Amino acid sequence: MPLNNAYGQQQQGYTNVDQPYSNQPFTSSAWLEKEQSRGKRSKWIVIGTLVAVVILAAVGIAVGVTVAKSHSGSSTKSGSSSSSPSTVKQDDPNDPSTFQKDDRLVKSFYGIAYTPENSQYPECGNKLEDVITDIQLLSQLTDQIRLYGGDCNQSALVLEAIKQTKVNMSVWLGNYPIPTDPTPYERQRDAIIDAIKTYGTDHVAGVTVGNEYILNWLTSNGADDPNSPIGNVGAQMLLANVTDTRNAIEALNLDKKIPIGTADAGSFFNTELLQNVDFGMSNIHAWFANVSIDQSAGWVNDFFQETNVAVANALPNQPKMFIAETGWPTASKDVGNESNGPSTASEPNLQIFLDTFVCQANKNGTGYFFFEYFDETWKDAQFGGVEGHWGLFYSNRTLKDIKIPTC
């Protein structure tokens, strides 16, 4: 069921799995989101790309229907998932900084990707007490997290939770603009600026403007090369937002420089855009690329080095590149989507990925954000497949059956 974008063009019905606006018909490929490559730097990329085109054609209709269905029932979605913030005990119930540590948790991760529960505009329903629980847990695993968007007051909630828990945590704030509508960008920019004014910069590591913007832009225009003329048009649109955020932050006259960058699927970085950002964050998922678990950690590293780091280092400004998302799913809503070729979603496989990626990437000096903190029930409902099952924790904030590696 093809959807129409704001330009009236027909497009395939893919939905971006990170899409924070639950009622937006704006779409992209949930499947190849991350790995579809124009780079052709090595043979697995070429294979993945050929397969990608076939999947794009075959899967689009089914996903479109799924999305359409979930929209028709979306009015009941907000607040439907009940959380259990009591998973972390506090010595003083009124002082979140007195939380008790969980000895299964080890601070081994460079960073972790995080979206507070119920932060999908306009169905906001997030709660400070939940975010405090999340920060108490996350701070035992890492000292850096990244957000995807700035809606539903999530920037302030996270910074308030860091303040109350008194943990050593930095956050990469996020703005998730939509190419077809200036309002979401501006709304999130204002919320981010407000949060920085209120909480200062001590716990702000940077601001990411754009999440899979180029991938979405190309997909909705029937294109696939981020450096094609159409890719450059999208890049200039996003660059306007990047520059606007840079100016808004400079106008605050802060004592510290806040880096401004962008995040996209691994093969969708536009060079003109990269030349004008301080950093790039790249989504790299071996599971979507049909890579078996045994080869996944090395594959993610090779992909990142060849497709992202080498390219960025050749630019005059040499933007710092991070892996924005990498991880492994543990389950699928339906058995049929549990495996993607040789990649199988399971907790033992998440364990293998943890054991082969985390400490090795630390040692290699790779900046990465493990995907992700917990299972997201809204994604399971809206997209199905493995989308809602990438967490280290289940959605109820119970640790999965995994052992966190000690580096």
Ligand X SMILES: *[C@@H]1O[C@H](CO)[C@@H](O)[C@H](O)[C@H]1NC(C)=O
Choose, by CB under 6 A, the member of 6, 46, 62, 68 that binds ligand X.
Answer: 62
The site string for ligand X over 351-380 (x = CB under 6 A, - otherwise) reads ------x--xx--x-x--------------
Choose, by CB under 6 A, the member of 25, 150, 385, 388 that binds ligand X.
Answer: 385
- Is residue 212 part of the annotated active site? The answer reads yes
Cα–Cα distance measured from residue 146 to residue 114, given in angstroms and rounded to the nearest whole number: 6
Q: How far is the CB of 394 from ligand X (least distance, A)?
A: 4
Q: How far is the CB of 197 from ligand X (least distance, A)?
A: 12
The stretch among 97-105, 176-184, 257-265, 267-275 that binds ligand X (CB under 6 A) is 176-184
Nearer to ligand X, 315 or 359 (CB): 359
Partners of residue 208 on adjacent β-strands: 174, 261
Q: How far is the CB of 368 from ligand X (least distance, A)?
A: 8
401-405 own/partner pairs: CB under 8 Å, 24+ apart? 401/347, 402/347, 402/350, 402/351, 402/354, 403/104, 403/351, 403/354, 404/104, 404/105, 404/106, 404/108, 404/141, 404/354, 405/106, 405/108, 405/354, 405/355, 405/358, 405/359
Choose, by CB under 6 A, the member of 237, 277, 286, 309 that binds ligand X.
Answer: 237
Q: Are strands 279-283 and 320-326 parallel, antiparallel or unpaired?
A: parallel
Catalytic pick among 33, 160, 212, 372: 212
Are 106 and 142 within 8 A, CB to CB?
Answer: no
Choose, by CB under 6 A, the member of 177, 266, 327, 388 that binds ligand X.
Answer: 177
Q: Per CB under 6 A, which of residues 129..168 are in contact with ligand X?
A: 143-144, 153, 156-157, 160, 168
Choose, by CB under 6 A, the member of 384, 388, 389, 399 that binds ligand X.
Answer: 384
The site string for ligand X over 81-120 (x = CB under 6 A, - otherwise) reads ----------------------------------------
Q: How far is the CB of 296 from ligand X (least distance, A)?
A: 9
Q: Cα–Cα–Cα angle for 54, 59, 64, nearest 5°? A: 145
Query: Pseudo-torsion of CA 83, 162, 391, 263, nearest 10°?
Result: 130
The stretch among 11-19, 35-43, 308-316, 332-340 that binds ligand X (CB under 6 A) is 332-340
Token output for 120: 């999908």
Q: Per CB under 6 A, which of residues 178..207 are in contact with ligand X?
A: 179, 182, 185
Q: Please, is 339 exposed, middle or buried when counting C-beta atoms within 10 Å of its C-beta (0-12, 13-18, 19+)?
A: middle
Are 320 and 279 within 8 A, CB to CB?
Answer: yes
The site string for ligand X over 271-290 (x = CB under 6 A, - otherwise) reads -------------------x
Q: How many Å separate Cα 261 from the centre of its chain?
A: 14
Choose, by CB under 6 A, the member of 118, 139, 221, 241 that binds ligand X.
Answer: 241
For position 46 contacting ligand X by CB under 6 A, the verdict is: no
Burial 108-118, CB ≥16 within 10 A → b, else e = bbbbbbbbbbb
Are 274 and 308 within 8 A, CB to CB?
Answer: no
Task: Using alpha carbons, select from 28, 56, 13 the residue that is nearest to residue 218.
Answer: 28
Half-sphere exposure of 390 (CA within 13 A, CB side): 27
Residue positions annotated with a catalytic role = 212, 325
Give the residues lining the site for ligand X (CB under 6 A). Answer: 47, 51, 59, 62-63, 128, 143-144, 153, 156-157, 160, 168, 170, 177, 179, 182, 185, 237, 240-241, 244, 290, 297-298, 301, 334, 336-337, 339-341, 357, 360-361, 364, 366, 383-385, 394, 396, 398
